[in-house]
Amino acid sequence: MLITINGHDLINTFIFSLDSFTELSQLIHNLSKEHFGYLPIDPPKDILSKIPSELPPFLDNTPASRELRCAYIQHIISKTLTFRVFQPFLFTLGRRYDKADTFFQMLSMDIRRKSVRREAFWRQQTLKAAYTTSDAKQSINVAAAVIVDEIIDHIKHFADPKHLDSLLIGVRKIVKLAAETWRHARVERELVLANFPAPDAESVSNEGWMEYAANKDQKHTPSNEPTRHVVLRTFPRITREAAHEDFASDEEKATPCVYSQGVVLYSDSPVIMGRLQEFAKNANDSLATDSPPKTPLGAKGIEKLPPIDVSSPKAMTVRSAPTSPGTKGQFMKM
């Protein structure tokens, strides 16, 4: 399908989606680095209570603490985008019309059970109509503004109050890109899905997900310890299903595609181990001076942890452009 964006030349929505999801993950990563590297004051207790209990404290301004704080910010932004933009049937309905959105979701599943082909056609025509009405742009802007406020209300407590204006501009840019990208992806016949499972979700495979802050220069071998588990996710896994056989006119449509592998933080990921290393060092320093440890985690200590590389993470997107598969990536069966 060809579209026109802001008066520019026609481009393929497939390539547009690949590039846009890559840009979105990069914008979220950059925002977390730019605005959350320094924490002048501790956030309110009600905000701190929402942090996963298994995540080591990250209110200090040490390297590992900053990296962990950035991961949490990315988690909050991505989670909000997933549940407010990517997963509703029509995100412009907003939270006020949850029942209407649920109705469309159920109707879509009911039609799909009877005929995948018919559901694809119905969904495409329904969403095209919704996104091309005279007030569609206004509806998108209203929904986006609500999402921006929701994100800002949570993450502003971890940023420097002196730079809230620039933070707001950055979040608006992220939400706008997410809304526009998803709007174009949803009017395709092939179903595009965004997955952001909870850490304790059952029957969820983490195979294929990128590990947060893992060193890309060397192969990472996941720990076989049964205690290794997901703490949080920092970017959703976004996939496009294969086209129905009646619509599969070329290889691009006939094969499932991964737009984003998704990014996950494990209990033994480099950034968490790096933070525990800092606690262990503080505990040793406290024992050396006969003073009590600063935190409960510091009291536990970590024995001889190796140096941890907490280099900045990048969300990897599997590029699948049909024009040059050698450089863009490859199609993947799911």
Task: For residue range 207-266, list pLDDT tens digits in order.
Answer: 999 999 876 544 444 555 567 899 999 999 999 888 766 555 655 566 788 899 999 999
Q: What pLDDT, on a 0 to 100 scale, did the predictor assign at position 252?
A: 58
Q: Is residue 179 part of a domain?
A: yes
Number of domains forming the structure of the chain: 1
Spatial separation of the C-alpha atoms in residues 143 and 332, rounded to whole Å: 33
In the prediction, which pLDDT does 256 show?
Answer: 80
In a domain, 292, yes or no: yes
CA dihedral (314, 317, 318, 322) positive or negative: negative
Specify if 199 maps to a domain.
Answer: yes
Residue 333 lies in a domain: no
pLDDT value at 125 more than 70 = yes
Tell me which of 151-155, 172-176, 304-308 is least confident: 304-308
Confidence of residue 80 (pLDDT cuts 50, 70, 90): very high
Cα(51)–Cα(1) distance, rounded to whole angstroms? 42
Residue 72 has pLDDT above 70, yes or no: yes
Find out whether 94 and 84 touch, Cβ atoms under 8 Å: no
Cα distance between residue 19 and residue 7, in whole Å: 18
Q: Tell me the pLDDT tens digit for each residue of 301-313.
A: 344 355 545 454 4
Is residue 334, in this structure, part of any structural domain at all?
no
Residue 154 CA: distances (Å) to CA of 46, 61, 78, 118: 10, 19, 13, 41
Instruction: Kindly list the distances between the CA atom of residue 70 and the CA atoms of 11, 64, 272, 290, in Å, as whole numbers in the listed order.
Output: 34, 10, 12, 33
Task: Provide the domain limits for residue 191.
Answer: 2-328
Confidence band for 17, pLDDT divided at 50, 70 and 90: confident
Q: Quick one: pLDDT band at residue 282, thresholds 50, 70, 90? A: confident
The answer to whether residue 129 sits within a structural domain is: yes
DSSP of 52-86: -TTSPP--S-SHHHHHHHHHHHHHHHHHHHIIIII
What pLDDT shows up at residue 320?
A: 42
